[in-house]
Each structure stands twice: as C-alpha cells, then as structure tokens.
Amino acid sequence: MTKRLPHSFRSLSARLLVLTVFFVMLAELLIYAPSIARFRTTYLADRLADAHIAALSLEAAPTRAVDAALEKRLLRHVSAYSVELRVGEHTTYMLGGSMPPEVDAAFDLDKAMAVSSIWEAAATLAQAHNRVLRVSGVSSHEPGARVEVTMDEWPMREAMIAYSERILVLSLIISALTAAAVFLALHWLMVRPMGRLTEAMVRFGTDPEDQSRIHAPSARSDEIGMAERQLSGMQRRLHAALSHRAHLAAVGEGVAKINHDLRNMLASAQLVSDSLGESRDPRVRKAVPTLVGALDRAVGLCTRVVDFARAGGPQLFLEAVPLAELIDDAASVAGRGVAWTNGVGAGIAVEGDREQLFRVFVNLARNAAEAGARTVSTTARARDGRIYVTVADDGPGLPERARENLFRPFQGSTRPDGSGLGLAIAREIMRAHGGSIRLISSDGGGTVFRLDFAAGRERR
C-alpha cells in the first residue's frame, strides 16, 4: 500500500521548492566531477614541482649526492619515497632510489585527458586501502626537466575528501540560497496568481448563478493575465447561459402545469369545430378549415414547448434505423405541397431512436414547406463510421437575422406565428444521438443542412 505524502508536500509551492533544490544540487554534481579531477591533477603537479626543487639540492652538492639525513628530510618534505629528475638526455638526479617500494599504479600527467582524469579521481576516492603511485611529468619550474615521483596515494585521497566536504557545504549553501530566491520569485509571480485562479474557480463553482463570484482579472499582460481574462469571460458566459436556462426551465415548468388543461380546452374546441363543419351555412363551412388549422398549430406549439423545456433531454431507444424509409415517412406527413427526391440508398442505416429522428426530418420538411420551397432533396454518404446526410431545398433562403439565431429557441423564426423551436429541438435530438446538425449554405438558390449520424447495421 503506497503512503500518501503530507498535504504540505503535495502543494505546488512545496514541490517547487524540492525541485529547485534537486536541480541545483544536480548542477553542482555536474560541476563537482571536473572540479575534483582538476584538484587531483593540481595536487600531483604540485608534488612534481616540490620534487624538482628537492632534486636541485643534488646539483649544488660536489658529489651529486647528499647525506642520508638530508635525503630523508627532502623526501619527507615532498611526501615521496623517491624522486628522479632528468634534465636533458644525460643528466639525472636521484633521491631515495636505493630501495623503491612496489608500485601499484603509474600516471603520466602529460598524457592525462579530461575524461580519464575524472575516472581516475573517482577511483582514488573509491579506494579502501593505500596505493603506491609512480607519477611523472614535465616540471612547471623548468620546461626541459622531467620529474618522476614515487608516493603514497592516501594523503592525496584525504586532501580530496576534505576538498569534497568543502564543496558539499558550499553547494548546500548555494542550493539553499538559490532555491529560496527562485522559490520566492516563482511563488510571487506564478504560485500566488495560480492560487487565486484556483480559489476563484472553486468559489464560482459553488454557486455559478451568483454574479458577484465572477473573477475580476488583473491588468497583467502575460500568460497568467490571459488565463485570468479567459476565466472571467468563461464565467460570464456560463452565468448568462445558466440564467437563460433557468428562465427556460421556469417557462417549461409553467407550461407543463397548464399543458393538461390547455389540451382539454383545445380538444373541446376541436369538437366544436367538427360540429361546425356540418353546418349548412357556407360561410361557416368555409371558416372551419382555418379554425382547425389554428387549433392544430396551437396544440403543436404547446407540445413543442413542453418537449423542449423537459429537463434531461429526450429519452432514446436506440436501434438500427433504415434512413431511406425514415425520410420517406417524414416527407409523407410534413412535406405538403413539396416534391421530395430521396437519394439515400436503401441499405444505409443509422444508430438512433426512430421516433426522435423522425421529428428531426419532419421539422426540416415543415421549415422548407413554410419557407416556400417546392422541392427538397436528400443524399447520404458514409465515412469513418459516420453517416452524413444532406437536406437541400430550393426555397428563397434564410434572412441574415434568422441565420444568426437559427438554433436559438424562440429567436430563430422569421414568421410572426413561428416559435423558433423546430431547429432548436432538432439540434437537441442530434446532440443526444452524439451527432450534429449544421447549416451549410442559405441563399437565393435554397438552403442546405448537413446531419451527422453514427452508422448502424446495414440491411441486406
């Protein structure tokens, strides 16, 4: 079972501080590797320089040799077992060369490379026991002199460890100061503003209908300022949408309450209109169709308003619906006075609720007929598991005002007696099916809509 970190370590500020310290220490580690290699090379070069000076004492001696006591003091000063100095091709000076110890490793400083120096420094630090080294190289005091020293590795290792400890302390101080500076800067520039954004989102989410909870953006011109302005705009749009939806819900609830009584009233009016149709007065019989049409429109309007205001969207019973049959059925009941051309293949089916999709095509057909279209054509094509249906008419096209509010309830109609709910309901049904309906074009040559469906099983 994994252990959860304390809340203080899960915050953005704490993670930022930890990451800053980590990356600063990582940078220090990358700097330390060549630094410790350079320290080791310098240490050995200093030993060669000291050995050169010690060997020069032999040059002043008449016999090119010193007594044993002085030789020990010189070798102790150099921290070496033996020293060999070659000046030119024939001159050689030796200190302590009588009984040299067994050498464990040899290094030539003149041939040292950067990568090999780092590797050798790491090997020195990793040693658990002392080694005897033979170190050679050109003296820094005299370019023509070459010095070779036999020495213990342990004193150099101790010096390297002491140097590493100083580097570690310095790195910790630098890391702490850098982390504090970066943390304070980022906390002031990013963490605090992001915290305010988060608080504004949480506060608005608790009651999005309260306009006072909309975030007031700052005057910052960077990405955070842009995020604040986008959040404020989104909250305002959401608040307006919720207010509009609440208003529609109130309307729907009110209409639903009176729907039953209104239907009874309209049913009584329809019975009266039927009896009026049997009247012998020709003027009464002439007025009866107009009265019946008005009653039918009233019933239809009441039904559409209730259906649109119903919360949760339409309830779907999905099945494979043959598209060509569905369009023919819709044309037969809705396209009075309009000639239909159904170009949809007989084998194409869509996944959906037949009754709901029937309403979509009925609404499109009625809109085309009411707009004055004489012909309507439908075509379909399948692509990537989707069915795209095009419904085109030859009507006069939609005016600009209708196109701007096409799918908005109570606003998309241009007729005085229109409710503007037909296309709004059609869009809700298409969205419930995971599809869409879009206006492709509308001009003097007619209006074209495109519907997007999920493909169903093909009929054979």
pLDDT the model gives residue 311 = 46
- Identify whether 339 is part of a domain: yes
d(CA 448, CA 339): 16
Of all residues in the chain, what percent are helix, strand and coil, respectively (each to 5)?
Answer: 55, 15, 25
Between strands 386-393 and 91-95, the pairing is unpaired
Please give the pLDDT value at position 28.
Answer: 78
When divided into structural domains, the chain yields a total of 3
Q: Range of 227's domain?
A: 223-309
Do 95 and 120 sit in the same domain of this protein? yes
Query: What integer pLDDT is reported at residue 280 of this predicted model?
Result: 67
| Same domain, yes or no: 230 and 274 | yes
21 shares a domain with 130: yes
CATH number for the domain harbouring residue 338? 3.30.565.10
Does residue 51 lie in a domain region? yes
Asked if residue 260 and residue 124 are part of one domain, the reply reads no
Task: Please indicate, yes or no, if residue 239 is contained in any of the structural domains.
Answer: yes
Do 32 and 155 belong together in one domain? yes
- Domain stop point among 270, 289, 309: 309
Whole-number Cα distances in Å, 64 to 56, 67, 86, 333: 10, 11, 13, 128
Chain mean pLDDT for the chain: 78
Report the SS3 class of residue 139: coil
Mean pLDDT value across residues 325-352: 82
Would you say 151 and 132 are in contact if contact means Cβ atoms under 8 Å apart?
yes
Are 278 and 324 found together in one domain? no
Looking at the fold, whether 299 and 406 belong to one and the same domain comes out as: no
Q: In the predicted model, is pLDDT for residue 154 greater than 50?
A: yes
Residue 189 lies in a domain: no
| 3-state secondary structure string across 57-117 | HHHHCCCCCCCHHHHHHHHHHHCCCEEEEEECCCEEEEECCCCCCCCCEEEEHHHCCHHHH
Task: Verify that 374 and 300 share a domain, yes or no.
Answer: no
206 falls within a domain: no
Does residue 295 belong to any structural domain of this protein? Answer: yes
Q: Are residues 325 and 257 in the same domain?
A: no
Query: Is residue 378 assigned to a domain?
Result: yes
Domain assignment present for 192: no
For the segment 71-82, what is each residue's pLDDT rounded down to a tens digit? 778 888 888 888
Does residue 377 share a domain with residue 263?
no
Does the reported pTM lie above 0.85? no
Which of 150, 177, 204 delimits the end of a domain? 177
Place of tokens 């089916």: 349
Q: Are residues 289 and 331 in the same domain?
A: no
